[in-house]
Amino acid sequence: MANIAVFGIGYVGVVSAACLARDGHRVIAVDVDPTKVAAINAGLSPIVEPGVSEIIAECVAEGRLTATTDAEHAIRETDASFVCVGTPSAPDGSISLEYVKDACRAIGSAIAAKGGYHSVILRSTIVPGTMEETCIPVLETASGRKAGTDFGVGYYPEFLRESTAVADYRDPGLIVFGALDDMTARLLTDLNGGIDCKIHVTDLRTAEMVKYTSNAWRAVKVSFANEIGNIAKSAGLDGQQVLSILTSDLKVSMSPWFMRPGFAFGGSCLPKDVRALRAFAATRRTETPLLDAVLVANAEQIARAEAMVRDAGARRVGLIGISFKPGTDDMRESPLAELASRLIGQGVAVKVWDPYVQEACDADLTSTGRGNDWGIDLKETLVPSLDDLIEGTDILLVGNRYEDAVTRLTALNGDRTVIDLARIDPKRRSGGSYHGICW
């Protein structure tokens, strides 16, 4: 069993720390936010993600998982660090490496004070060349040591999907890493030993590029499916049926994930990573017409939903789900939050029912409302029950699909206008008071 420090207790770091500790490793989670550190040490999860709270409570009680703001302590007590800090978009769309550089500086100084061997493994999403051009130089300067010989270095991207992150940890679709040294490569191979998935070992830059390729491909798939859905609907066809037939061809075509016509993509990864890949390509004078179009197409899908609400003449809208996808409280770049904000800006009264965002608000987590850059007053818009939502509004807008809401909407039996961006019923098509975005 290994001793591992996890830097950054966000969505990726919490899941990594919890699952590593559950597998029997000794884990020290490190964050600059003392409230997140205190939450872990109290046996509580700083994020809302199915299955994580239980694992954290158990591993903290059994002493395998602790948290600290003290990087030097964490490095001294462990053999390797996983760096899972955020890499948000800079104003020009390129990737911001401030948190990565800060974490590398802290780890480098701690390695200088430690003496023994330590592997530094980045898990944050970073454009190709970042390990060699930024992380390694910062680590070497801060530690006064040589990467690959005096300390280990690896890049091991994370592919988890929020809301199914714990299941994805045990059953991933892809494992890839690059490492400068044998010790780091062996550690990452051993950590993935019990998992039924091929391990791709490659160079650092290729591993960095695979991560962006994966997220760019997910984004392309969403927009491609939406465009087909829009065209299909204009021809009187069901877009989901068209793509469900296409994606049944798993041999020659592709897997069906993300190939489901519906609403725009969002979240903390796809928009940011498509922007960053375009910015990266621009520095190499490489044109990216498809990626440019993907972002335009995604914005169009939000405008399309906005027009559907406008055409229905809605003045009081009840939005079901506002996080970027169902099953998480994460609102970063949520297209539903953007849609709500636009409607509010046009004088429409918007109320929101979202069980996960509500849970985060009730628990007053430090990440509550994360990504609410549209300035929506969550306290003002959130309603605790579906009854309140249905009674207080005249049009129901389905952003995320939740089983409770499906039951209630079905029981309304056409009495209320429903605009569906998430498809409450695969058999239902637009007609009467029901309007599906792509079907």
Ligand X SMILES: NC(=O)c1ccc[n+]([C@@H]2O[C@H](COP(=O)([O-])OP(=O)(O)OC[C@H]3O[C@@H](n4cnc5c(N)ncnc54)[C@H](O)[C@@H]3O)[C@@H](O)[C@H]2O)c1
Q: Which residues bind ligand X (CB under 6 A)?
A: 7-13, 30-33, 36, 84-87, 99, 102-103, 106, 124-125, 158, 160, 162, 268-269
Please, which residue, 122 or 389, has the CB nearer to ligand X? 122
Q: Is the CB of 1 or the CB of 174 nearer to ligand X?
A: 174
SS (H, E, C) the chain: CCEEEEECCCHHHHHHHHHHHHCCCEEEEECCCHHHHHHHHCCCCCCCCCCHHHHHHHHHHCCCEEEECCHHHHHHCCCEEEECCCCCECCCCCECCHHHHHHHHHHHHHHHHHCCCCEEEECCCCCCCHHHHHHHHHHHHHHCCCECCCEEEEECCCCCCCCCHHHHHHCCCCEEEEECCHHHHHHHHHHCCCCCCCEEEECHHHHHHHHHHHHHHHHHHHHHHHHHHHHHHHCCCCHHHHHHHHCCCCCCCCCCCCCCCCCCCCCCCHHHHHHHHHHHHHHCCCCCHHHHHHHHHHHHHHHHHHHHHHHCCCCEEEEECCCCCCCCCCCCCCHHHHHHHHHHHCCCEEEEECHHHHHHHHHCCCCCCCCCCCCCCHHHHECCCHHHHHHHCCEEEECCCCHHHHHHHHHHCCCCEEEECCCCCCCCCCECCEEECCC
Smallest separation, CB 174 to ligand X (Å): 12
Report d(CA 198, CA 62) in Å as an integer.
Answer: 32
Shortest approach of ligand X to residue 323 CB, angstroms? 12
- In the bound state with ligand X, the residue whose beta carbon lies nearer, of 9 and 228, is 9
Q: Is 269 a catalytic residue?
A: yes
Q: For residues 268 and 393, which CB has a smaller minimum distance to ligand X in the complex?
A: 268
Q: Please, what is the minimum distance in Å from the beta carbon of residue 46 to ligand X?
A: 7
Question: Quick one: 125 or 184, whose CB is closer to ligand X?
Answer: 125
Please identify, using beta-carbon distances, which residue of 17 and 389 lies nearer to ligand X.
Answer: 17
CB closer to ligand X, 1 vs 42: 42
Q: Is 407 exposed, middle or buried (0-12, 13-18, 19+ CB in 10 A)?
A: exposed
In the complex, the smallest distance separating the C-beta of residue 370 from ligand X, rounded to whole angstroms, is 7
Opening angle at CA 139, ends 135 and 142, nearest 5: 140
Could you say which of 104, 135, 269, 438 is catalytic? 269
Q: Smallest distance from the beta carbon of 33 to ligand X, in angstroms?
A: 4
Least separation in angstroms between residue 400's CB and ligand X is: 16
For the bound state, the minimum distance from the C-beta of residue 267 to ligand X, rounded and expressed in Å, comes to 7
- Is the CB of 49 or the CB of 354 nearer to ligand X? 49
Q: How far apart are CA 421 and CA 417, in angstroms?
A: 13
Nearest distance in Å: CB 57, ligand X: 19
Token code pair at residue 176: 């890839």
Q: Which residues are catalytic?
A: 269
